A = this chain, B = another copy of it.
Amino acid sequence: MNGAQALMKTLVDAGIEVCFSNPGTSEMHFVAALDDEPKMRAVLALFEGVATGAADGYARMADKPAATLLHLGCGLGNGLANLHNARKGKVPVVNIVGDHAIAHVKYDAQLQSDIETVARNVSPGFVRTSQTTADLCMDAVEAITTARGLPGQVATLILPADVSWGEGGSPCALPAQAASPVADDGAVRAVVDAIRSGKKTALLLGGRALREPALMAAAKVAAANGVTLLAETFPTRMERGEGLPPVERVAYLAELAGVQLADIAHLILVDSKAPVSFFAYPGKKSYLVPDTCTVHTLSRPEQDALASLEKLVAALGADNAQPEVQQLQCPSAPRGRLSAPKVCKAMGHFLPENAIIIDEAITSGLMLNAMTAGSPRHDMITLTGGAIGQGLPNAVGAAIACPERPVIALIGDGTAMYTIQALWTMAREQLNVTTIIFNNASYSVLNIELERVGAEDAGDKAKSQLDLNGPVLNFAQLAQGMGVHGVRVDTAEAFNYALEYALSQPGPHLIEAMVPESLNGLKRKILPWVLRSLPSLPLPVTRTLKNKIAP
């Protein structure tokens, strides 16, 4: 048995049954080993960022890692942005990077580079170049163990070609997973004191605390003690909708987050971190927690969030509290000329039971959370690390993890072009993904940011760096060029029809929603619009902001 064959066996024995790959010559023995292992599904991507983003999306839904297969340092480089997103989302990925044969390295051939250095950023917990075929599977076991522990991590195993092709490989079994620690008594006591202080208190839920059991425990705390439930701005995976506790995400715009956090005296972190602004802005604070607020940590990412919340429930005597849950409450179908908020409204209206929403519509998706808050139960996956190009690959992975669930990816036009190659993998694997592209022919968020950083009087040359006009992309055509059914629509009626059709048919579909770029101007338009819109929404998820905004 050669190294590649033994590694393959080690992976599947550890439950890693999908490999998202973009191989080259140095990975050919691993590729050849696929034939001997029926339990491993290999999913080809045309670009490494698709492979790594798919592994991320898969793990978010499967709750176990997939493997990637990348080609040397440059292949890893191409996959780095989505590994960054996985790292920030605490998502387990077993990242396998082929390398030159060890004896070949000294010749500094064309593709020679220092892979470990490239990997270090995204794999702080485990980067190793396996040195012998005999040791390979032990290295793999360490990588898998690191990846799937708490917090989930990207573990990078570098696989020299000769270690892969060498004979004497020997599969290894994974040791039983150690139980994760729970919030210690002191932390729980401090949180109980804060909650009982009579001052305004909020739980900020992140990571694993946004899954149903943890949400239910948090909602008991909220129901018994009048505590506000908040979610981190960019959840890795958030279970929500009918029957689950409504939780409001901290807004991306620091201006809105400030409103949400303004009068909180105690902020309690559960697998989350204290809110900071996404970017720094001249003269503005990065740390969004008010000076008058005390931050407590109930559980850290390496601790079991659910068990910690349950310990808190017990300490508060809230076991029998009745959690408030979301009732089914969907907006009507939109009508008339299409706009980004209308697409979000249609999502809320048509969202099927058990859907997986991938949200990478940075400005156009502004109303998505509010519009789908009362939809049938679903999962929401968001851009955890800010490296755009996550959404389409995430959709690939989520659809492979959950073939029976509809996946709907809402993606901005600028964002979509980073990893547009994902559409081909959707077609090849006939995945049940409905991709919705908001085509507003602009890096719309950057027009907002241009104003936020104080450069709002920019001229034509600067603004041309933010627009995607000349030519306007045709995503329906791009989809068709990759074998995905694609349509372009510009009315709400046509959008509704296309969405219903896509959801009723198997395989991938793409709907290109032509929407005006109406959100430019943070102060002039967006903030007033949000402040105007939210109070009229019937949805409890926006309660914090609504209560503060309503006259």
B104:A286 contact, CB within 8 angstroms: yes
Considering residues A24, A33, A42, A384, which has the most beta carbons from chain B within 10 angstroms of its beta carbon?
A24
A110:B81 contact, CB within 8 angstroms: no
CA distance A461 to B81 in the complex (A): 28
> Which A79-98 residues sit within 8 Å CB-CB of chain B?
80-81, 84, 88
Which residues of the partner chain B approach A418 to less than 8 Å between Cβ atoms?
Answer: 46-47, 78
Q: Does A101 lie at the interface of the complex (its beta carbon under 8 Å from any beta carbon of B)?
A: yes
Which residues of the partner chain B approach A278 to less than 8 Å between Cβ atoms?
Answer: 25, 109-111
Q: Does A474 lie at the interface of the complex (its beta carbon under 8 Å from any beta carbon of B)?
A: yes
**Given known A-B contacts A104-B279, A478-B481, A453 and B25 have beta carbons under 8 A apart:** yes
Closest to A418 in B: B47
Q: Does A26 lie at the interface of the complex (its beta carbon under 8 Å from any beta carbon of B)?
A: yes
Q: Does A465 lie at the interface of the complex (its beta carbon under 8 Å from any beta carbon of B)?
A: yes
A458:B417 contact, CB within 8 angstroms: no
Which residues of the partner chain B approach A417 to less than 8 Å between Cβ atoms?
Answer: 46-47, 421, 424
Number of copies: 2
Minimal beta-carbon separation of A82 from chain B (angstroms): 9
A110:B471 contact, CB within 8 angstroms: no
Q: Does A328 lie at the interface of the complex (its beta carbon under 8 Å from any beta carbon of B)?
A: no
**Given known A-B contacts A74-B81, A74-B385, A277-B109, A32 and B117 have beta carbons under 8 A apart:** no
Minimal beta-carbon separation of A377 from chain B (angstroms): 27
Q: Does A470 lie at the interface of the complex (its beta carbon under 8 Å from any beta carbon of B)?
A: yes
B24:A446 contact, CB within 8 angstroms: yes
Minimal beta-carbon separation of A283 from chain B (angstroms): 10
CA distance A468 to B287 in the complex (A): 48
CA distance A28 to B522 in the complex (A): 15
A470:B428 contact, CB within 8 angstroms: yes
Considering residues A42, A286, A427, which has the most beta carbons from chain B within 10 angstroms of its beta carbon?
A286
CA distance A521 to B234 in the complex (A): 49
B455:A74 contact, CB within 8 angstroms: no
Closest to A387 in B: B74
Interface range on chain A: under 10, 10 to 19, 20 to 34, or 35 or more?
A: 35 or more
CA distance A466 to B384 in the complex (A): 32
Minimal beta-carbon separation of A111 from chain B (angstroms): 4
CA distance A44 to B471 in the complex (A): 12
B25:A461 contact, CB within 8 angstroms: no
Which residues of the partner chain B approach A117 to less than 8 Å between Cβ atoms?
Answer: 117, 120-121
A46:B482 contact, CB within 8 angstroms: no
Closest to A449 in B: B25
A384:B110 contact, CB within 8 angstroms: yes
Per-residue CB contact flags for chain A residues 261-287 toward chain B (1 = under 8 Å, else 0) read 000000000000100111110100011
A454:B165 contact, CB within 8 angstroms: yes
Which residues of the partner chain B approach A383 to less than 8 Å between Cβ atoms?
Answer: 110
Which residues of the partner chain B approach A391 to less than 8 Å between Cβ atoms?
Answer: none
Which residues of the partner chain B approach A471 to less than 8 Å between Cβ atoms?
Answer: 424, 427-428, 482-483
Q: Does A103 lie at the interface of the complex (its beta carbon under 8 Å from any beta carbon of B)?
A: yes
A23:B104 contact, CB within 8 angstroms: no
Closest to A476 in B: B481
Which residues of the partner chain B approach A291 to less than 8 Å between Cβ atoms?
Answer: none
CA distance A529 to B386 in the complex (A): 50
Considering residues A24, A101, A286, A462, which has the most beta carbons from chain B within 10 angstroms of its beta carbon?
A462
Q: Does A113 lie at the interface of the complex (its beta carbon under 8 Å from any beta carbon of B)?
A: yes
8 contacts between A and B (CB under 8 A): A28-B455, A29-B453, A35-B460, A74-B386, A80-B80, A110-B384, A114-B121, A417-B421
Other than the given A31-B465, A101-B280, A109-B278, 6 more pairs (CB < 8 A) read A35-B459, A74-B80, A104-B280, A107-B276, A110-B386, A165-B282
4 cross-chain pairs, A with B, having the tightest CB-CB distances, nearest first: A471-B483, A77-B80, A477-B481, A101-B280
